[in-house]
Each structure stands twice: as structure tokens, then as C-alpha cells.
Amino acid sequence: MHLLLVGVSHRTAPVEVRERVDFQARGVAEALGVLASRGSTREAVVLSTCNRAELYVACDDVQPTRDDLVGFVGDFHGLAHADLAPHVYDVSDLDAARHLFRVAAGLDSLVVGEPQILGQVKEAHSVATEAHTVGPVLNRLFHSSFAVGKRVRTETGLGSGAVSVSYAAVALARKIFGDLTGRNVLVVGAGEMGKLTALHMKSQGVHHMTIISRTMAHAARTAEAIGGASAAPWDELDASLGASDIVITATGASAPILTKAHIEGVMRRRRSRPLFIIDIALPRDVESAAGEIEQVFLYNIDDLQATVRENLARRASEMVRAEAIVAEEIDKFGAWFRSRGAIPTVVALRQRFEAIRQAELERLDFKLSALPPEARTRVDEITHLIVEKLLLTPTEQLKAVGDADTVGAYTEALTRLFGLPEEGDAERTDTVEPFNPERRNRPRSR
């Protein structure tokens, strides 16, 4: 059996294509059901995020399954093959495992080290488990990826420090106020950057969020998109400034909308209660002199970008350690994955030994029938234990072999030595000839 990954991500496709292959839109569970009905895979997991749509499957034949998976993605989303094919990548076996491990570790993310992806990988496995499309191979693969993600987060600093302007603003706010729970936030401007920063603030449990824009309809739409926020008209700006702990300014104004004098007036009414202002507009929305006011903490986009650059540099140094963890876990998973080639031989060997044991017990049944039931049970237990003991070492040794060629040589030798059925043959346990110790002294026919 092989592992196969077929996917599209931010590294291979523009956002226009990624939007069209979003499995979340129709539902991952539905996609798994449709994929299973095609019959090309034995196991399947669909990982779908804003930056990637990936299919992880266990299959018998890589190339035909790869072609079918590409066809499935196109069919499911109504996307022409010519529009999809140039953006698709595929890797198999340990390369597929390595890719998933790097994804779970945050090494393949648009923002390296971002923490959300591990939860998304876990959710993808959970949905596939509920849909009954995972088995021993993908279960082992995904649980190994969870271990990788956890190790990278606990043993490295890959995920520490803000690496986006919007999240850097949150990090700075936490430095000023500590816990943001219960704080009031004002967003001035209804653009994308202000919205994104507001969403990060909301994730920190702020008490209330107000959106103000010169166009009330724009403020209302942004407040609705954030969820749990309220919109206010422009003429309520001063009142909202007075009631807020954190202010995010992100308008398209060509001149500052908040001067030093304006902020001083607000602070007098606040009785010097601290005010944290994040000015992420270009040109700036707040006069730089406003930062001189006592208890006013003003940061602009350059301050935030400097923080982002520092954190990106710090994360780059941690990537080497994270990649080393991925390599260690790939070695562990690879040993298990390669050992699966020996499993059919191990099963056949145990079946053959058990068939011999059962045949001998049947041959001696007339002698054992005189024993009391508990004694016969004990004989069965003892013979079973002997078989287990005999098979323990060869089974462990065969599973421990890490090289596929060696596994193949061992399995071929065992198949010949013990007359095991070849792959695809029916089990021949009904042809086992009982062992006869007298046969050793019987004259050979000439």
C-alpha cells in the first residue's frame, strides 16, 4: 500500500483558484463520501483551509489514483482540467508524510509558525474518522503529525512573536494592558486592515468593539463581518474615543484625523486613563506629537513592521530546529511504514503455525479425549503458548527491518521455507499434513 498526497496551495495557485477548490464550501464530509464512492482509494483525509486543499490517501497504485484524484477535484468543484492541472502537486509515501509533518509544524504555512494549522489538521482527521474513511495507515500518519506539531511548538520558538502587522498590534496591546479581556476597542475605518486587526483583538476576548466610518453603511458591514461588534456614526467619534481603551485607526484620509490637541481634549475627559492607539494607516491618521501626551501609547505601522521583521528573523533561526524534529519523526514513521510490507507474511506464518497446531490436536484427539475438560483446555493453552513463543522473535525481527529490499528477501525466504501462500493465493490451511514422528524412521520408496 502507498501513501499519496494531491493538493493545491498558496505555493502553487493564486487565490482565485484556491477559492474554487475550497472543500469547506460544500462540506468536507460530503467530499469524502464522493471520493470514497469512486473506489480508487482505501483511506482518505481532506485538509481544506484558506491556503490549501489537500487530499491524503492510502492506495494500491499511485499513478492511476493520482489521475483519479485530480479528476475528482475538478468534478467536485466544476473546474476544468486545464484550469486546475497546472496548479496541482503530488508526492507519495514518505515524501507525502514529510509534507504533512511540515504542514502540521507550521513550516509550510504562508506565515511560518502560525498556530492555527495544527488544529485544522486535527479537525481534518476528525471529520474523516467520523466519515469512516481512515484506517491504520492514515491514522498512524496523522497521529504522528500531531506529535510533530506539538514537539515543534514546545521545543522551538517557531510560533512565538507576531509576524503580521495586525497581530503585532495585538501583541503590543497585551504588553500595555496585559490581559485584554474586558477592554473596549474602537476601530476607525472600515477597510480590510482595520477589520483584520479587529478580528485578532476579538480573539483575545475584548469586552466590546465599535466600528466608525465616514460611511455608516461601511461601518455596519464591517461590524457584521466581525461579529459581536457595533457600528457608530462619524459624529460620535469623540464619545467613542472617550469610552475606549484601544483605538485602531485605518482610514484612507489624506491628512491626520486625530491631532495632538484633539487627543488632549479626549484625555482630559478620561482623567488620564491610559489610551492605546494603533495607527496602521498610510498616510498616518494620528499626529505623531500625540504620542507625547502622558498615558497615550501611540504606535504607527513602521513600529509594527519593525516588530514583525525582528520576529521573522527569530523564527528563521528556529526553522532549523523544527526541520530536525520533522526529520526525526519521519525516521520513526518510515520504519513503521516500511515494516508494513512484512505484515502479510507475518499473518500467513502465524496462520500456518496455527493450522499445524490445530491439525496435531485433531490427530491426537482420541488420546486427549480421556483427559478431563480442564486438562484438555490446559493442553490447548500450552500448545498455543509454544507457537507464540516460537514466532515472537522472527516476527519482531521481521517488523524491525527498515530496508524494503531486506524485507522482501526475508518474506520470500519465509514463504519458500514454510510453504506460505503467495500474494493473491487462497490460504492453504486445509492441506496441512499432520506431523508424524514415525515418518523419520520409515524406509523411503525407491
Query: Which of 116, 132, 155 delimits the end of a domain?
Result: 155
Residue 407 located in a structural domain: yes
Rounded average pLDDT over 285-301: 92
pLDDT band at 426 (very low <50, low <70, confident <90, very high): very low
Residue 313 located in a structural domain: no
Q: 131 and 188 share a domain?
A: no
Q: 73 and 138 share a domain?
A: yes
Residue 3 scores a pLDDT above 90: yes
Rounded average pLDDT over 438-443: 42
Q: Give pLDDT, residue 161.
A: 62
Domain encompassing residue 151 = 2-155
Please state, in angstroms and rounded to a whole number, the distance separating the CA atoms of residues 5 and 268.
61
Q: 150 and 170 share a domain?
A: no
Q: Give pLDDT, residue 401.
A: 65
Q: 97 and 133 share a domain?
A: yes
DSSP 129-189: HHTT---HHHHHHHHHHHHHHHHHHHHS-TT-S--SHHHHHHHHHHHHHS--TT-EEEEES
Q: Give pLDDT, residue 421.
A: 77
Residue 427 scores a pLDDT above 70: no
Residue 170 scores a pLDDT above 70: yes
> The pTM is what?
0.60
Residue 154 scores a pLDDT above 60: yes
Q: In percent, how much of the chain has pLDDT > 90? A: 50
* Residue range 218-248, pLDDT digits in tens: 999 999 988 889 999 999 999 999 999 999 9
Residue 332 located in a structural domain: no
Q: In percent, how much of the chain has pLDDT > 70? A: 90
Query: Which of 155, 182, 200 delimits the end of a domain?
Result: 155
Please give the mean pLDDT across all residues of the chain.
86
Q: Give pLDDT, residue 111.
A: 72
Q: 243 and 300 share a domain?
A: yes
DSSP reduced 3-state for 399: helix
Residue 329 located in a structural domain: no
Please state, in angstroms and rounded to a whole number, the distance separating the CA atoms of residues 37 and 148.
32
pLDDT band at 429 (very low <50, low <70, confident <90, very high): very low
Q: 201 and 302 share a domain?
A: yes
Residue 249 located in a structural domain: yes
Q: 372 and 300 share a domain?
A: no
Rounded average pLDDT over 185-212: 88
Of 32-46, 316-330, 374-388, 407-421, the one with minimum mean pLDDT is 407-421
- We report the CATH number of the domain holding residue 194 as 3.40.50.720
Rounded average pLDDT over 361-369: 86
DSSP reduced 3-state for 247: strand
For residue 47, the one-letter residue type is L
Residue with the bigger pLDDT between 138 and 413: it is 138
Q: Give pLDDT, residue 136.
A: 92
Q: 295 and 180 share a domain?
A: yes
Residue 350 scores a pLDDT above 70: yes
Residue 222 located in a structural domain: yes
Rounded average pLDDT over 362-389: 88
Q: Give pLDDT, residue 162.
A: 54
Residue 430 scores a pLDDT above 80: no
Rounded average pLDDT over 360-381: 88
Q: Give pLDDT, residue 407.
A: 67
Q: Give pLDDT, residue 7.
A: 97
Rounded average pLDDT over 350-358: 86
Q: 20 and 149 share a domain?
A: yes
φ/ψ of 231, rounded to 5, equals: -105, 150
Residue 327 scores a pLDDT above 90: yes
Residue with the bigger pLDDT between 364 and 124: it is 124
Tell me which range, 58-67, 262-271, 279-288, is most confidently predicted by mean pLDDT.
58-67
Q: Domain count of the chain?
A: 3
Q: For residues 191, 106, 126 and 399, what is the CA-based torsion angle, rounded to 10 degrees?
A: 170
* Known catalytic membership, residue 59: no
Q: 147 and 253 share a domain?
A: no
Residue 313 scores a pLDDT above 90: no
Q: 41 and 131 share a domain?
A: yes
- We report the CATH number of the domain holding residue 136 as 3.30.460.30
* Residue range 96-135, pLDDT digits in tens: 999 999 999 999 987 778 778 999 999 999 999 999 999 9
Query: Which of 125, 155, 185 delimits the end of a domain?
Result: 155
Please state, in angstroms and rounded to a whole number, the distance separating the CA atoms of residues 336 and 417.
25
**Residues 77, 170 contacting (CB under 8 angstroms):** no
Residue 261 located in a structural domain: yes
Residue 320 located in a structural domain: no
Q: 75 and 187 share a domain?
A: no
Residue 428 scores a pLDDT above 50: no
Q: Which of 50, 79, 94, 361 is flagged as catalytic?
A: 50
